A = this chain, B = another copy of it.
Amino acid sequence: MFSDKLIAQIKKKRSLVCVGLDPRCEGKEAIPNFILENCKHNPNDAIWQFNKTLIDATHEIAVIYKPQIAFYEQYDALDALKKTIDYIHSKQGLVLLDAKRNDIGTTCDAYAHAAFNLLKADALTINSYFGIDGVAPFTKYVAKGKGVFLLLKTSNKSSGEFQDRFVMENPVPENKQLEIAVTDTKLIRNYLLMTRLMRMWAENPKNLDNADVYGQEGYSSIGGVVGATYPEQMKAIRKEIPKHFILIPGYGAQGGTAKDILHGINADGLGAIVNASRSINYAFLLSPYKDRFTPDQFGEAAKIAAEDMRAEINTEIEKR
């Protein structure tokens, strides 16, 4: 069961840190020049060498790695992604492929096959705008030990445009007109509706190919994505889904702090993993590490940044 494997990592490493692997070959925050030149600017080689060093440096802290597939697609570097995933597995690590896939039927089956069987990801992010038709083809892999994370409340500034809208708690049958006037009803925000749908879908064994709904540790292998940048919304979502993991992006570079994510973590210290990508991948270029490390020490800088992040989070948990 994916949730049990994730919890084993958390306990062993005393960490909630998820390390994003978002390789960039140009721009201000990018793979060090000496690697790009060694690899004759071949992105597949450069990305693989960059990731390998990051994994060697952080695998005792990272409970899971989160490569974002867009960066690999952008450089036509899916081979580097495959090697990266295999290497993480060789270190007994887990991989959450961030791809936010969404579709229906055989198309979903194809995406799931590509992510779980070809690339061998342990878990996948998806977007559930389609409803259960776009969810079950992924969640049925829970029976094969895989995990799935659904977008609930995203970390970006404009996430409220759609996700924060107030929506009726209960469905209205299709044969009713397309616009109605209500006089007395309870409304919730769209992200909370998505959260409730997620729980409903995740509690139906049929959608999991009859796998256990909750693992040995009492946690589902189906989780949600909630940005560190929205602590109040995190609190509301945590209350709705106490036994589902929350992947928290937006820590570090996007502005989320250890205090902001506390609402996502249960009293047992479980229920959340916290992702940082840029602030670890490119720590050697960023404060407070840039003065202590040269570009060829990017791995060591990443290690210290990951250790600091683990300590910040653990300190806040102990304080509460």
Asked if A174 meets B164 with Cβ closer than 8 Å, knowing A156-B130, A156-B131, A182-B185, the reply is yes
Q: Residues of B contacting A129 with CB < 8 Å? A: 127, 129, 151, 154, 162-163
Q: How far does the alpha carbon of A134 sit from the alpha carbon of B156 in the complex, in Å?
A: 9
Residue of B nearest to A151 (CB): B129
A241 to chain B, nearest CB (A): 15
Question: Are B190's CB and A166's CB within 8 A?
Answer: no
Q: Residues of B contacting A172 with CB < 8 Å? A: 164-166
Q: Residues of B contacting A178 with CB < 8 Å? A: 188-189, 192, 232-233, 236
Q: How far does the alpha carbon of A178 sit from the alpha carbon of B134 in the complex, in Å?
A: 27
Chain A: interface residue total (CB-CB under 8 A): 70
Chain A interface helix/strand/loop/mixed: mixed
Residue of B nearest to A108 (CB): B70
A50 to chain B, nearest CB (A): 16
Query: Does A184 sit within 8 A of B, measured CB to CB?
Result: yes
Asked if A118 meets B156 with Cβ closer than 8 Å, knowing A129-B127, A161-B131, A180-B166, the reply is no
Q: How far does the alpha carbon of A118 sit from the alpha carbon of B102 in the complex, in Å?
A: 22
Question: Are A104's CB and B156's CB within 8 A?
Answer: yes
Q: Residues of B contacting A102 with CB < 8 Å? A: 100, 102, 127
Which chain A residues in 143-173 approach chain B with CB under 8 Å?
151, 154-168, 171-172
Question: Are A167's CB and B190's CB within 8 A?
Answer: yes
